[in-house]
Amino acid sequence: MGFLLVAALGTAMAVGSAASQAGLPREVLLLTRIKRRMAQNLEHIPDYTCLETIERSRRRAALQPFQVVDTVRLEVVVVGGKELYSWPGAEKFEEEEVGAIVTGGLISSGDFAMHAHDVFATTNPMFTYGGVEELDGRRALRYDFRIPLMASGWTITYGQQTGKVGSTGSFWADEQTLDVLRLEVNGDSIPPDLAIAEVFTRINYGKVRIGASEVVLPQGAEVGMTGLLGGASRNRIEFTHCREYVGESVISYEPPAEVAAAATPRRFTEVRLPVGLEVPVELDTAIDSQTARVGDLIMARVRTDVRQKKTLVVPRGALLKGRIRRLEKHDDRGVYFVVGLEFLAMEFDGKRAGFFGELRELGPLEGLSRQLFSSGLRRETRWQETITARQLPGVGTFFMRGSRFQLPRGLRMTWVTQEIRR
C-alpha cells in the first residue's frame, strides 16, 4: 500500500508594516520579523537544489519497533511554486508527483519548501506565542500555529483514498538572529475515510554557504504516519549536496568512475528497439544491499550480438543504463529483500534507444528466489509461508533471502523488450 503526503502552496502573503507600529506587543513584532526573514529566504529556495536521502521504516503494531525498509535518494528543487523531483544524475526534473516516481511505502513532498511557505509566507496560519525554550543549546522563541482545514493546501493519499487535512504545529526561531531552527506540522481534521490516526512532519533548518551566498535551508526532517490499527510508517530525511540550480543539466554526486563517465552528456542518434527482442546482459555495477540505495545508477553490458531475422540489431558490449527501483527489507516471513532493477536506455555505436523490458532470467545466484514475471501481485511459495510483492511495469523484481545480499558484476540477466508505456 502506498502513502503520499503533499504540502501545496497557500495564498501568498505580502508582509506589511502594520506590526511595526508602536504599542504592539514584543512577541508580535518578533513574529513579523521572523516571518519576513523566512519569507525572504524562501524567495531564494528556487535557486538551489539538494540531494534528499530518505530512510523509510515501518512497524505493524504500536508496541513493535520500527524496521528499516529501504533508503531512497532523490534530487529536489522548487520550480514554479512546486517541489519537483528526479533521480540523482537525471537530465531533468519530473513534473509528476513524487509518489509516481517512488512507488510503494510512505513518501512525501513539501518538506523542502512548501510546508515552510504555508506557515511563513501566507496569511493562513493563526499564531500563539509559546515563550522562550532551549533547543539544541540555543535560546529559541516558540510560536504555535493552526491552519484551518478550509485554508489548508495539505493533501494525503492513503491507498486509493485522498483527502485534505488542516494542520497544527509549532516553530522555533533563534532568539538573537531570528533564523528559524525547527518547524513541526501535525495533521488536523483528518477525514475518517483515510483511516489515519496521526500524521506529522518535523523539519530542522540551518545555514548553508553555497558559493558567495548564505541561505537557511532544511538540514533534515522526519515524517510519520500512524494508521487507526496501530501500524505506522516513518521517514528520516537528510538534505545534502545543496548547490545552485542551473536548469536541466546532469547532476552527479561522486558516483563510481564508470557511472560518472557514463553521465557525461553526449550526442546520440535516437533509435527504437523492436518489441520482443531477447537481450542477454551482464551486470556491470555490483550491488551490495548494505550500501546501495533506491535511485542509485546501475549499468549492464549486452553479452552477445542481438539479431532479429539474421539482422544485427544490438551489438555485443552495448551499454544499458538504469537504476535501482526497489530495495525493500522485510522480516514478516523470515528476513528477505524485494529487489527491483529498471533499465531505461541503451547506447551503442553513437545511437541511443529507450529501453522498456521484462526480466525473464536471472542468475544463478545464492539466495535468489523465484522471479516475478508479470504485472500485478505475484506470490512466492518456495518458502514455508507465502509472500507477495507488487510488480512494477518495466522493473525486474525478485526476492533475495537473508539479511544481506550482493549482486556481483557479471551477474547474468535476460530481458525481453516491450512496448514503452511511459
Residues 120-155 pLDDT 10s: 999 999 999 999 999 988 899 999 999 999 998 888
Q: What is the pLDDT of residues 384-420, one digit of tens each?
A: 334 445 567 788 888 898 999 999 999 999 999 988 6
For the chain, give the percent of residues with pLDDT over 90.
50
Alpha-carbon distance of 154 to 317, in angstroms, equals 48
Q: What is the pLDDT of residues 35-75, one digit of tens each?
A: 999 999 998 888 888 989 999 999 988 888 898 899 999 99
Q: What is the mean pLDDT of the chain?
A: 83
This prediction's pTM = 0.73
How many other C-beta atoms lie within 10 A of the C-beta of residue 180? 27
Alpha-carbon distance of 44 to 54, in angstroms, equals 24
pLDDT at 370: 56
Going along the chain from its start, the domains and CATH numbers come out as 2-244 (2.50.20), 257-417 (2.40.128)
φ and ψ at residue 141, rounded to 5 degrees: -85, 130
pLDDT at 390: 56
Helix (H) or strand (E) holding 262: helix 257-262
Nearest to 58 by CA among 181, 224, 184: 224
CB 379 within 8 A of CB 322: no
Q: What is the pLDDT of residues 238-262, one digit of tens each?
A: 998 888 887 654 333 344 444 344 4
Is the pLDDT at 163 greater than 80, yes or no?
A: yes
φ and ψ at residue 28, rounded to 5 degrees: -70, -45
Average pLDDT over residues 368-374: 54
Following DSSP, what letter does each residue of 102-164 receive, concatenated? S-SEEEE-STTTHHHHHHHSBS--EEEEEEEEEETTEEEEEEEEEE-GGG--EEEEETTEEEE
Kind of pairing, strands 387-391 and 376-380? antiparallel
Average pLDDT over residues 157-170: 88
Greater model confidence, 200 or 100:
200
Is the pLDDT at 196 greater than 70, yes or no?
A: yes
User: Residue holding cell 523539519?
Assistant: 203
For residues 301-325, one letter each, b for 16 or more C-beta atoms within 10 angstroms of the residue's C-beta and e for the rest, the string is: ebbeebeeeeeebbeeebbbbbbbb
3-state secondary structure of 302: strand
